[in-house]
Structure formats: structure tokens, C-alpha cells
Amino acid sequence: MSNYVFVLDTNLKPLNPCTPTIASKLLDAGKAAVFRRYPFSIILKKEANSTPKTYRLKLDPGSKTTGIAILQDNKVIWGAELEHRGQQIKHGLESRRSLRRGRRVRKTRYRKPRFNNRKHPDSWLSPSLEHRVLTTMTWVNRLIKLCPISSIAQELVKFDTHKLQNPELQEREYQQGTLYQYEVREYLLEKWHHTCAYCATKDVPLEVEHIVPRSKGGSNRISNLAIACVPCNQAKSNHDIKDFLRGQPDLLKRLLAQAKSPLKDAAAVNSTRWKLFNALKGTGLSVTTATGGQTKFNRTQQGLPKSHWLDAACVGDIPKLEVKVSQPLLIKCAGHGKRQVMQVDKYGFQKRNKKGELVRKSTKVKNVLGFETGDLVKAVVTKGKKVGTYLGKVAIRKTGSFNIKTREGTIEGISWKYCQKIHRKDGYVYGLAHTDGE
């Protein structure tokens, strides 16, 4: 079943979310109207005096994806996975920096470097990291307006990168509790994408495996650990990795390179965790925290499949969960476009067309007849060569003849008169995912 539907009364007061079936009946009876498409919300046509139940919002912050879940007692009624675009921002800043450095060394006016007179405040985060905090808070504030949330739970995980690199440094006893090595195992599963490092098998029991065996001088460093299925782990035994993969040089090269990959994802979570925690406290709601090992332990005890939104539901102390959602909302950060006016080639020079004119990247016109590029529209064409119904994102033109990008392709030359706006562009792309949760 899909997520529960958020319900507002006529004064925009959040009420108890309802099932999609009940929401459909209210819409058919004319007692409610669609308020938002994503996340799907309806608004009643009268004021409600009932006292809503209490709901809890849970977050599983990640470097690339943040899991979001809403619980009412032990029932998971809403879930979403928010995909960040931190790497896209990082690559954009690096491209801009390289273009500016190139302009400085060419025969243009000299611009004095500014790096000697700039200083960041103590709480400063790089734009790619700040983006993770801001987008998460954007959705937290949206959900607070749509659902009567009374408390927030955040997974405040801290990856000890030095300890991950060398667990034998000191104070090993703190790992020997009930949650022993859950943080290390969770990190390795993410690093190796929940697949066997040797045969790429998925959905089977996986074990932690030493690339260089301990009997031959191998250590417990994270760079010497991999994830392997039981047959591959037993077949490798204490053989040297080069002997075990002698006939597979490509796999050997990829495995050794991936084993030494940097811990940038762990560093990103470490850098943003307290900034997000303080931002959550600014909402005025009760905020609690839990460790990543506890989340993994809870999900294992509940017998739930691995996913970001189910990890969020398992944050903190929980009873036996009843998952009412099988299709969480997938939210991908897409941004609002660029401010760059001219198109450039890979060397940073402005592009020109066949007539020698500079090629502009965007137009100054942002709104045409109430539509903006990126809006989700439904076009019902009743006459002409393009009769039919089209649902997709619109690209505007000054003439009022729009293009609509659908799943089947781009339909060009649709008059604005046939278009009806369904969802205003907000910098996100939405979808649904199927899981094994019931």
C-alpha cells in the first residue's frame, strides 16, 4: 500500500492522516480537494474540532540518501527517501573554480586573488554539506505543516574514521557489547553495496572477510576488510588475494582499488550531524537521538529488509513495528537550474552558433501565462494532430506553445490552453519504490 494521505481542515490545521481509500472517498464525495500532489495531501471543506493523535518523525541522515519515516505508536504510516545532490554541487563548484583560474592566467585583466582576506565562521560548512542539512530541514518543516508531529528522532551516528582505519589502536573493550561491530558491518555493507566482493551475489547472507588473511599478516583495518558470501569466504580461506583471483586480473584491480576508497561519506555524516541536530531543535519539538548500531540492531530484530526509510523507522527505542507502507516516496534533489547565462565548452570558452552568435543557456522569461519550466502539467488535447492526454514536465515558450516531457518522450507544440498545472516545480523529482514491507 502507498503512504497514508495527509489531511488538513479548511484552516490548514493538520489532522490525522488517512488511508488512500478513505481519501478517495472524500474526494469523490466532494468533501475534500487535493491540496498538494507531492507529498499527496487533501484539504477538507469544513473546520474540524477533533483532537489529532500524536505522531513521531524519524530521520536516518546519510551522505547520499536520508531516510524519513512517520510513526503513530508502532505503526509506520509514511516513508520517504531523500536523495541529496551534494556531489553535483561539489562538481559544479570545482568546474567554476577551474574556469576562473583559467581566466586569471590568460591575457585578460588581472584580478587579484581573494583567498588571503577571507575567513569562514566557526559553524561554516561547505555548500555540498550545507545542502544536506538544508534539504532535510525543508522536508521536516513541510511534514510538520501537514501532520501533527509531536517529536523527532534522529540517528546521531558518529563514524570514528581513525578507529575504522585501525580498530586495534586502543580501548577495544567498548566494541564488545550487544552491538559489537554493528557500525563496522554497516559501513562495509554500504561500501560494497550489499553484494559479495568476489562474485557480486546479492540477497544472500554476507560475512566480513579479510582481503589479506590474518594468518599472513593482515590487519583489521577497514581497508583490509570486504564483504563476501559464505561459499566465496570458505573458498578463499587463508589464500592470498592475488592467488585466489589469479585468473581475474580486472576483478583483482577493482577490488583492491575499492578497498582503499576514501571515507568521504563517513566524514560527510560526521560534519553535518550536529548542525542538523541543532536545526531540528529549532523547530521547538522534542528531539531524541540514537546510534547507528542501535538502528541496525533494531532492524535485524524486527526482520525488516534493508532500506533507508525502514532504517529511519528503526531509530531509537521501538516496539514491534507494524509497517503499513510498501511504496515509500522517492525524492531526488534536482535544484532550480543554473544562473549561468552563456553555454561554454569543456575548456571554458563561450560557444557560438553557425552565424557566430553566442549561444545563451537560458532565457530571462521565467513565467509564461502562469506556467514555469519544470511544472508538472496535464494536457488534454481535443483537436488537431496531437489529440490525446499527456502528463509530464513542461518547457515554456513565449509564444504559448509548450513542450511536455512525458515517460514516452517529448511532445512538442502543445498550446497552453490545453495545459492544467498539477504540481508547481519545487526543485525535486518524485517517484515511488516497491519494497517487501507490508
Residues 363 and 288: their CA atoms lie apart, in Å, by 47
Residues 394 and 401: their CA atoms lie apart, in Å, by 10
Mean pLDDT on 142-149: 94
Burial class (CB within 10 angstroms; exposed 0-12, middle 13-18, buried 19+) of 407: exposed
pLDDT of residue 167: 53
pLDDT of residue 174: 42
If pLDDT is split at 50, 70 and 90, which confidence band does 162 have?
very low
Q: What is the pLDDT of residues 22-31, one digit of tens each?
A: 999 999 999 9
Q: Is the pLDDT of residue 294 over 80?
A: yes
Q: Is the pLDDT of residue 343 over 80?
A: no
If pLDDT is split at 50, 70 and 90, which confidence band does 101 have?
confident
Mean pLDDT on 328-341: 84
Which letter, b or e, does each residue of 255-281 get, where b requires 16 or more Cβ atoms within 10 Å of its Cβ? Answer: beeebeeebebbebbbbbbebbbebbe
Mean pLDDT on 318-336: 89
Q: How many CA atoms lie within 13 A of 152 on its CB side?
A: 27
If pLDDT is split at 50, 70 and 90, which confidence band does 279 have?
very high
Q: Is the pLDDT of residue 158 over 70?
A: no
The model carries a pTM of 0.73
pLDDT of residue 40: 93
If pLDDT is split at 50, 70 and 90, which confidence band does 176 have?
very low
% of the chain exceeding 90 in pLDDT = 29
Collapsing DSSP to helix, strand or coil, 329 comes out as strand
pLDDT of residue 344: 76
Q: Is the pLDDT of residue 137 over 50?
A: yes
pLDDT of residue 9: 92
Q: Is the pLDDT of residue 348 over 80?
A: no
Residues 222 and 422: their CA atoms lie apart, in Å, by 48
- Mean of per-residue pLDDT scores for the chain: 83
If pLDDT is split at 50, 70 and 90, which confidence band does 108 have?
low
If pLDDT is split at 50, 70 and 90, which confidence band does 58 have?
very high
Q: Is the pLDDT of residue 64 over 80?
A: yes
Residue 151 bridge partners (DSSP): 56, 286
Contact by Cβ (8 Å): 295, 315: yes
pLDDT of residue 295: 87
pLDDT of residue 363: 55
Residues 36 and 146: their CA atoms lie apart, in Å, by 10
If pLDDT is split at 50, 70 and 90, which confidence band does 263 have?
low
Q: Is the pLDDT of residue 281 over 50?
A: yes
Q: Which of 176, 271, 255, 182 is nearest to 223 (CA)?
A: 255
Q: Is the pLDDT of residue 99 over 80?
A: no
Residues 270 and 208: their CA atoms lie apart, in Å, by 24
Mean pLDDT on 283-300: 88
Q: Of residues 102 and 361, which shows the higher confidence score?
A: 102
Q: Is the pLDDT of residue 172 over 70?
A: no
Grid coordinates given for 60: 536516518
Residues 150 and 56: their CA atoms lie apart, in Å, by 6
Q: Is the pLDDT of residue 179 over 50?
A: no
